[in-house]
Amino acid sequence: MSGIALVRKPGPRIADGLVTYVRRDPVDPELALRQHEAYVSALDAAGWRPVYADPADDLPDAPFVEDTVVVCGRLAVLTRPGAPERRPEVASVERVVRELGLTSVRIAEPGTLDGGDVLQTGATVYVGRSSRTNDEGIAQLAALLPEREVVPVGLDGVLHLKSAVTALPDGTFIGDPSRVDLPGLLVPAEEAGAHVVPLGGGRVLMSASAPATAAMLRERGLDVVAVDISEFEKLEGCVTCLSVLIM
């Protein structure tokens, strides 16, 4: 696989990141930085060239770059995050996608959209109705993607759609049926096993905190790359949140 991985290094204030559905546990900024470096190295080794957004040390949630932009082909939809504190993250990401030659458009007020609520598989785009993404944001995304089928999805007690479900390379959904209602859902052995980043071919990236799910996926013939992202998981983050893969 050959493509670009848009990422952003965590800053010294990462421990102040927002939490909604989990208790706040202490986060080690230095460990988070080392884990992020290992995560980026895993993407690089799989053929995804890292491109960094500018540091944003005053914005604790900035390493969760997925929430700021949705990339469909050569179109970059710049989001309007549901948490007002996170909206300043978007400007620096806009500069990067323009430098990469993508066409950029924006979700406008009163719409809100977090990229973590957007799951693309084939010609279908599933979008979670969440505390961060509203119906207006979903409608605007659908209007910006006329060649895609945009499907709203209800959520229960989870931050983002991709906090509950992702898709394997063959399009099979893997996730928590108590949080999201989608057909043919493969149930992971651990909560973190719901989060998978397809890297190309039969290779997927997932968290080291889901070893039983990794074993299940290997039995299905997938090549699993595991990374430790424990400090980001304390902030409701997962392997999908920390990058945007661009072909």
Q: Whole-model pTM above 0.95?
A: yes
Question: Any catalytic annotation for residue 72?
Answer: no
**Residue 169 region, left (φ>0) first, then alpha (ψ -120 to 50), else beta?**
alpha
pLDDT, tens digit, 9 for 90 and up, residues 128-153: 999 999 999 999 999 999 999 999 99
From the list 36, 195, 238, 241, the catalytic residue is 241
pLDDT at 2: 76
Domain that holds residue 36: 3-246
pLDDT at 48: 98
Whether residue 1 has pLDDT greater than 70: no
Burial of residue 221, with CB atoms counted within 10 A of its CB: 0-12 exposed, 13-18 middle, 19 or more buried: exposed
C-alpha to C-alpha distance for 74 and 2, rounded to whole angstroms:
15
Closest by CA to 246, choosing from 83, 54, 43, 81, is 43
Copy the structure tokens of residue 195: 């989060």
Copy the structure tokens of residue 55: 């540091």
User: Residue 138 in contact with residue 144, Cβ under 8 Å?
Assistant: no
Query: b/e map of 151-186 (b: 16 or more CB within 10 Å)?
Result: ebbebeebbbbbbbbbbbbeeebbbbeebbebeebb
Query: How many domains are contained in the chain?
Result: 1
pLDDT, tens digit, 9 for 90 and up, residues 84-106: 999 999 999 999 999 999 999 99
From the list 36, 160, 195, 238, the catalytic residue is 160
pLDDT at 5: 98
User: Residue 145 in contact with residue 126, Cβ under 8 Å?
Assistant: no
∠ Cα 104 105 109 (to 5°): 145
Question: Any catalytic annotation for residue 160?
Answer: yes
CATH of the domain at 157: 3.75.10.10
Closest by CA to 176, choosing from 154, 196, 192, is 192
pLDDT, tens digit, 9 for 90 and up, residues 53-87: 999 999 999 999 999 999 999 999 999 999 999 99
Helices (H), 119-242: 135-144, 161-164, 211-219, 230-233
C-alpha to C-alpha distance for 160 and 73, rounded to whole angstroms:
22
